Structures are given as structure tokens and as C-alpha cells.
Amino acid sequence: MIETGTVKSVCDICSRGCGVLIDIENGVPVKVSGDPNCATNQGKLCIKGLASLDYLNHPDRLKHPLKRIGKRGEGKWQSISWDEALDEIAGAMLKAKGEFGAESVAFMHGAAKGYRDSYPARLANVFGTPNVAWQGHVCAVPRALGAQFTFGTPMPCDFDHPPACVVVWGANYAKTLHYQYNRLTRAANKGCKIIVVDPQKIALVDKSAIWLRVRPGADLALALGMINIIINEEMYDKAFVESSTVGFEQLKDRVQHYTPDKVSEITWIPAEYIRQATRLFATMKPACIILGNGIDQGVNSFQTARAAAILNAITGNIDVSGGLIRPTPMPLVRRKSADLELWDKLPEDMWPKRVSANLNLLPSIRYMAGQSIIKAIVDEKPYSIKVLYAQGCNPLLTYGNANETYEALNKVNFLAVADLFMTPTAALADVVLPAAGYLEYDSVEAAQPQQKVAKVGQCRSDYQMISALAAKLGLSEHFWDSEEDCLNFLLKPSGLTFNQLRQMDRVPPKTQTKKQSGFPTPSGKIELYSERLGQWGYDPVPAYHEQPETPYSDPELAIEYPLVLTSWKASPYRHGGGRQIERLRKQRPEPLITINSDTANKLGIGNGDWVYIENKRGMIKQKAVLSSDIDPRVVIADYGWWFPEKGSVDLYGWSESNINILTDNSPPYSPEMGSCNLRGILCKVYKA
């Protein structure tokens, strides 16, 4: 670490790769600003990134390991050494392994955090347990795999050559991904036509040509309706479809059911709006569809991503400037790859024992859907999970059916949690480990150097924690001697060392617009019909399935709970994190639910009133914001709410405004991904 000067690094609060410049005075970071030479954010930071030093210096940071000395959740802790903490965790794991088998130990990590997510998976494999839970099944991975099973590779939109038309689908970029919002704004200023697909009037609507206010959870029906129009009105790129795709006739047959009128009934979008948006997208060249988290959370998650990829393909917007392009990133060891996670070290007879084996998910998925771990703990089926290690994860706020999650966390024999702050989940732990933030350790994020510039207490990076735990378990030979050695391994395909990477002034952007021959799929073409998926028992062509607890799947339930509930993320926060950061909390001090003005008037609810939101699983309270733009049948609630200021009594108010009190974690799931149905479920709202 330098004493005085400026250090180039990368913000890792939301792991999107925004470059930062960190000013150091007398060994202390005093300012974090955007790096203008970073191709991702071009010098700009969101409010979360600007609060980097607030995270670093917050007085409530966990600074040393803690051991519970009172009842679980009572808030009584004893400070212990790292050796003692790791001995406690390793002892619990080895005891469970000896008595019940390695599969009785499970690992859990939270939102995607780059390579850090692979470290616990690496330890799990060498320890011998197949049970590693993630949230990828409801965040980003359905989109990535939907593209992979269509194109053979993810394909981002080329904003360097502004598209003529962009469909922004289920993505509130002004709140969640500022640099993407900036790219779209620049494109709109150059004449790009934007189509927004979202139940909420997001900021981009004011810059859009058309807004399709889709019913939450009905996105796949809309996509199939758009394909229907493009094919039947012969707006598809015939030459490209013939030369570069397979399965067009099967696709054509499948979408005949999804007429504009039928899709209008399902989606609550007027048929003429669907036609207008489709014709605009199909005739403006180049064009692309970009997807957000809004499509990840339901039975249709993977197939919605497939349908969007198919829309891009049949209009010929592939490998063209301003359309979808194939990225050419710096060659690195891939995240979640077999080499990094040591898949071969897991005994062959253990993988079939994973708790989610009965879900028959895509063979490429090596992680458990989070709800499978929770249900295994509660139901003890197919066996009981005895020890749980949670890294950077607050499942009480982020997992569906929070009440069942609470039951599981109380029931498990031993719970260890690693985090920056005490959270509702950490408050239930037996041992809590203090994690380092991104300013406190070296790493490689988005092919850029993240550099250590500070140290807080006894906090350790995720790699340091996991490798030290591996040593306590007698598994140190599977980890590197130092974190830098680990980073050099990750960088080996690039020919760089970490020290060389951090001296580079600028990492080249990940772009490729040159047409390439063939696609990395089994057929060598874009697969509108996927023979692999059909052979494995999944829909080879996307088909819409109505999810449970909607006005159409359960009309009787809709009598008692007449409103359709979905959620959105407020810009100051990432999932459940950040609510103790004063500058962020001032931006969004309370949980808000958006309600149509006429609906609120009928319910006797005024702007700013606290209201109860209730369904058959429970009830929460949020503050009403009235809007004439939202559908009268829909309400949109804030996600991830708890109240750090309330202290450990009642676990920081974890259940008061937590939307996951209302969501479900039971089947049906997405057949391919195991995605839960977290959006588009029924509820009622009334004044508190």
C-alpha cells in the first residue's frame, strides 16, 4: 500500500467493473472517484460507488471474529481470535462429516461477487460435499444460459455504434446499472428508438418511443407474441435465418398460438401496442434486446431469455455493429469453471447426492438453488443439513419464503456467517467472521486490478478466510500459498501476473463486431430449436407457462387477494446491503410501495400512508407512493428491507417490511434453472 498518491482500482460493491481512482494521503484513502480511462463507466460512479469510504469507515463494521454466547438471535457475543473462530467452524464441519457424511455440510454465497464465489465451491469439492447454494438461479444466470443455449455464447449489445432501436426489458438501469443507463441515454440522443418493457414507469420511459406495461410474470408470452408477428408479417431476415439458424419451422409452428389478441389477454398490453413495438423493433436496423433481472424470477426465466435471443436472431441483428456482438475478453481462468472449483475432486458418488438432484436442472449447473438447502434443513429430506457456512449472504432478506428461511437458520446445528456488518442472518450465527470490503484486498474483477489500499481491524478477504479454513480442515494443498499466487493463477491464460496487470494504464474493452463463421453450439448455428434441450426433457422451443398464484392460475385466490405484486430495487442499495450507510439511507429512508392512484383512492389510502401488504404467507408494512402510471391491478414494493438502527431486538426488524415474507420458495420452479416465483403473485393492500 502506498503512503500518498492515487491508486487505480475497480469498485466491487456490485461487481460490475466500474474503474475507480483512490486518492491516498498519509496511507489513508481520502477520496474515491470514477476512472475516466475505464471503458465500463468512463469516469462516472453511482451513489453506491461514491459511498465506498462510508462503507470502509463505518463504525458498525465487523472488525474481529465473534462467537455466540447467548441464545441464537439474542445478540450476545464474545470476541475471539481467528484461530479460535476457524477451529470452531472446522470442528463443526468435521464432526458432521464424521457422523452424517460430508453432504451434511453446505455452503452458501450471495449475490455474484466475481471469483470470490468460487472459493467456497472449491473448498466444498475438496471437502466432499456437493451442496453449494447460490442465488444465480434468480439473478443473471437464466439470461446467460438462455443466450448460451441459443447462440453458444453470451452476446452483449454494441453501444459503440449506436443501435437504431433497443428494447430494454425488465431492467431499471437508472437505479441499478448507471453506466448502461448512460449508454442508452447517449444512444437516444443520437436518434435511437427505445422500447421499454416494464410494469413500472422507469426513467427510460420518458426517453422511449413505446412503453409496454407488461403484467409481472407474463414476459415470455409477450416475447412469443412478438415472434408471431415478425414471422407472420414476414419481417424476419430470411437470408440470415436460412444461413445461420436451425429450427425455424418448429419455432413458426410453436408461436402460432401466441396471437396479438391472445397475448394481450395474458400480458394486459393492448394488442395494437404489441404490434407497434414489434414492427418498430423488426424494421429499425441495427437493433437489440437487453434483459434485466425482471425476467429471472419465475417458471419462465430461462425460456424468456431464450425467446429474447431468438428475437434478436430472426431479425438478423447478430454480429453487426449496433446489434449483438461476440465479446473478446481478456483470457482468464473462467469464474465457476471446473479448473478453478476443482470439480474432479468431488467424489463421483457425491454429486448425485446433492439436495437439488430431484429438480433435474440443466446439467451445466453445479450449484444448488438456495431454496433446496433451506428445505433440506427444515424437512430433513433427502437428508438433514447440519452445518451451514454463509459467505456474503443475507438469506433472511433475499431468499423466497423468509419465514421458512428463518425456521431453517434456527434449526441448523451450526451456522457460520462471513460479512462486513452484522445482519439479521449473521445475528443467528454461532460464529461470525469479519469480511474485508473491496478497498481492503487485492483481486481481479472484470479483468481489471482491484488493489488493497486500507485495512480495517482483523477483517480478511474471502480468499483468506476460505484458504485458512481449508488449512484447519487439512486441505491446504488445494489452495495457494498467498492470495497473489491465486490471482496469478487466474491471470495465467492472459500471460500476465497480477503485478503486471496493476501497472497497465487501461484494460482493452471487451468488444468484437467482426462477423465470425459459425456459432459454438452443437449444430454450429443459432438454435431456435434446441435438440439438446429436447433430449434432456425441456422445451426445445420456448413455451409460456402461467405461474402459480396469478389471476389466471388461481382465480379463486384472486378474489381474496386481487392485486398483483412485484418488486424493484432502489438505487442506493444492493440487495439487502447499505441501509446503515447514512448517505445512502438519506436517499431512501423508508420502504416504499407504488400503488395506482385510483386503486389507492378506492382503498382509502393516501400518498405517504403506511399500508399493509398481505397474502396467504404473511403480512408486511411499507409506505405508499401513488402513481397514475402503474396498472390499477399491480403494486410494486421495495425489496431487501431491514432496519439496522433497531438493533438485535427482533433481528433488526427483519420481517417488518421484507417482501420475501410474501414470496414463495415452493414448486413449480423453472424446470431448467430452479428459479422461484418471486414476481407476479397475488396480494391485498390496506391502510395500516
Q: Which letter, b or e, does each residue of 149-170 get, where b requires 16 or more Cβ atoms within 10 Å of its Cβ?
A: bbbbeebbbbbeebbbbbbbbb
What's the average model confidence in pLDDT over 330-335? 91
CB burial of residue 18 (10 Å; 0-12, 13-18, 19+): buried
Q: Are residues 183 and 305 in the same domain?
A: yes
Query: Residue 197's pLDDT is what?
Result: 98
Q: Is the pLDDT of residue 81 over 70?
A: yes
Q: Are residues 257 and 197 in the same domain?
A: yes
Q: Are residues 164 and 293 in the same domain?
A: yes
Q: Are residues 88 and 188 in the same domain?
A: no
Chain position carrying cell 466500474: 18
Q: Are residues 210 and 294 in the same domain?
A: yes
Query: Residue 161's pLDDT is what?
Result: 87
Q: Are residues 370 and 421 in the same domain?
A: yes
CB neighbourhood size of 574 (10 A): 19
Q: Are residues 162 and 130 in the same domain?
A: no
> How many distinct structural domains can be found in the chain?
3
Last residue of a domain, one of 276, 295, 326: 326
User: pLDDT digits over 456-493, tens only?
Assistant: 999 999 999 999 999 999 999 999 999 999 999 999 99
CATH number of the domain encompassing residue 640: 2.40.40.20
Reading the block at residue 399, the C-alpha cell is: 431468499
Q: How far is CA 328 from CA 94, 108, 155, 614, in A?
A: 43, 31, 10, 48
- This prediction has a pTM of 0.96
Q: Is the pLDDT of residue 15 over 90?
A: no
Q: Confidence class of residue 231 from pLDDT cuts 50, 70 and 90?
A: very high
How far, in Å, CA of 409 to CA of 59, rounded?
A: 27
CATH number of the domain encompassing residue 216: 3.40.228.10
Q: Are residues 345 and 216 in the same domain?
A: no
Say if 91 falls within a structural domain. yes
Q: Are residues 298 and 171 in the same domain?
A: yes
Q: Confidence class of residue 17 from pLDDT cuts 50, 70 and 90?
A: confident
CATH number of the domain encompassing residue 425: 3.40.50.740
Q: Are residues 234 and 209 in the same domain?
A: yes
User: pLDDT digits over 156-167, tens only?
Assistant: 999 988 899 999
Average pLDDT, the chain: 95
Last residue of a domain, one of 501, 520, 535: 501
Please tell me which of 105-119, 147-161, 593-607 the model is most confident about, judged by mean pLDDT: 593-607
Say if 519 falls within a structural domain. no
User: pLDDT digits over 357-380, tens only?
Assistant: 999 999 999 999 999 999 999 999
Say if 26 falls within a structural domain. no
Q: Of 124-133, 569-578, 583-592, where does mean pLDDT reach its minimum?
A: 569-578
Last residue of a domain, one of 296, 326, 356: 326
- Helices within 128-270 (DSSP H only): 141-151, 173-176, 178-189, 219-232, 238-244, 248-255, 260-267
Chain position carrying cell 481478456: 330
Q: Which residue has the higher pLDDT, 17 or 52?
A: 52
Q: Is the pLDDT of residue 546 over 70?
A: yes
Say if 54 falls within a structural domain. no
Q: Which residue has the higher pLDDT, 513 or 5?
A: 5
User: pLDDT digits over 300-315, tens only?
Assistant: 999 999 999 999 999 9
Q: Are residues 346 and 294 in the same domain?
A: no
Say if 510 falls within a structural domain. no
CB neighbourhood size of 188 (10 A): 18
Domain that holds residue 347: 66-138+338-436+459-501
Q: Which long-range contacts (CB under 8 A, 24 or more apart) does 268-274 make?
A: 268/213, 268/214, 268/215, 268/218, 268/631, 268/633, 269/212, 269/213, 269/214, 269/215, 269/222, 273/210, 273/212, 274/212, 274/222, 274/225, 274/226, 274/229
Q: Are residues 165 and 308 in the same domain?
A: yes
Say if 633 falls within a structural domain. yes
Query: Residue 185's pLDDT is what?
Result: 94
Say if 38 falls within a structural domain. no
Q: Is the pLDDT of residue 512 over 80?
A: no
| Closest to 675 in 3D by CA, of 140, 131, 153, 221 | 140
Say if 7 falls within a structural domain. no
